[in-house]
Amino acid sequence: MSADTVKIKVVVWDLDNTVWHGTLTEGDELVLRDNIRAIMEELDRRGVLQSIASKNTHADAWKKVEEFGLDHFFLYPQINWGAKSESIAKIKEAINIGFDAIAFFDDTAYERDEVKFVHDEVQIYDVDQIAGMLDLPQFMPRFVTAESAQRRLLYQADAQRNEESERFENNQEFLRSLNMKFCVSAAVPEDLKRVEELTVRTNQLNATGYTYSYDELLELLDSDEHQLYVAELADRYGTYGKIGVALLERRESTWHIKLLLMSCRVMARGVGTVLLNFLINNARALNAGLAAEFKHTDRNRMMFMTYKFAGFSEAGELPGGGVMLEHALANDGAYPDYIELDLPAEPPFAGRRTSELAG
């Protein structure tokens, strides 16, 4: 386990003299920067999202983006005459990431400095760094998983969902219309690359902030004292992929939640408590105690509130920081009635439970 290592999740591009050579409003003949298409394709393959912050007239600039055949790469492009720091803030809000996971490329020192002054965490790059950017470690995920290669498409599907949600008078009606299916399963070795990726990428909804390497996860998978679960979500638009992880450690008759995380993309779908309630209900059914480790960070307050609303209360401090939370298990956790559930037939630690848990 280690502290979260920041990786770039979104590259925001300027257009004039950055993505292409020339200035649109000055009537220049525009030519794409060398290898920029190949660079964008590789970032897309690696699961790094891309957007635009450009000072231009939107219709004119977007027409050129389409003519160059690059339009499909970009999420929530901001093409306007406002400050680029404002454009980047809108992109950050729409994608729901931290500023430190954004890289901004621009040819103009003024624009780079303006963004850095307002958003100090954004990673700033001049255009002369574009050619070698794919070799920089912050743009190189440890694994490229199935979810990585499809990440842009998943976010574009989310944008469709969000657009449709505005046509409903209330959110519950919209959520019910999605025909969601939430699946929890015991992790297998083929899941571990994605699990590692989730621990590295998920900050706001990670209960401890810990990251786990593939090798650490493989060792835990073989441990009789640990149970690792992954959660997937799908709806009528398609799959969200694997979006949640829970790691249990058995200590005598008590289960400790060592890790609980959920992708930020799905929290608006009302599924944030499903995985947690699955653990609560199983612990209650088997007369096992349930505790959870929680380490406060500057981003995971939402996960702390998820625990509190689920009935956990603070039970003391942890060595090295953080708090231990405990659940009284007086009642079952409720599942949303608009979600179809696919839950494991066997409870946690099935076939390897201690006498205390066997009842």
Chain-centre distance for alpha carbon 165: 21
Tell whether the model's pLDDT for residue 247 goes beyond 90. Answer: yes
The pLDDT tens digits for 43-99 are 999 999 999 999 999 999 999 999 999 999 999 999 999 999 999 999 999 988 889
10 Å CB burial of residue 34 (0-12, 13-18, 19+) is: exposed
pLDDT of residue 98: 87
Contact between residue 59 and residue 13 where contact means Cβ atoms under 8 Å apart: no
Residue 290's nearest CA partner among 252, 261, 334 is 252
> Alpha-carbon distance 338 to 322, whole Å?
34
Q: Per-residue pLDDT tens for 135-157?
A: 999 999 877 887 788 889 888 88
CATH number of the structural domain 146-358: 3.40.630.30
Percent of the chain at pLDDT > 90 equals 61
pLDDT on residue 353:
41
Identify the CATH assignment for 10-139 out of 3.50.50.60, 3.40.50.1000, 3.30.43.10, 3.40.50.10800: 3.40.50.1000
Instruction: State the pLDDT at residue 354.
Output: 40
Q: Taking the model in full, what pTM does it have?
A: 0.73
pLDDT digits (tens, 9 = 90+) for 172-229: 889 999 999 999 999 999 999 888 888 877 655 677 777 888 899 999 999 999 999 9
| Confidence at residue 213, expressed as pLDDT on a 0 to 100 scale | 86
Which two three-digit tokens encode residue 11?
A: 């590259």
> Distances in Å between the alpha carbon of 253 and those of 65, 87, 285, 311, 357?
60, 52, 13, 20, 6
The string over 92-108, giving b where at least 16 C-beta atoms fall within 10 Å of a residue's C-beta and e elsewhere, is bebbebbbbbbbbbbbb
Domain boundaries, the chain: 10-139, 146-358
What sign does the CA torsion over 279, 280, 283, 284 have? Answer: negative
Q: What was the pLDDT predicted at 2?
A: 36
Quick one: pLDDT at residue 36? 98
- The stretch 91-108 carries a mean pLDDT of 93
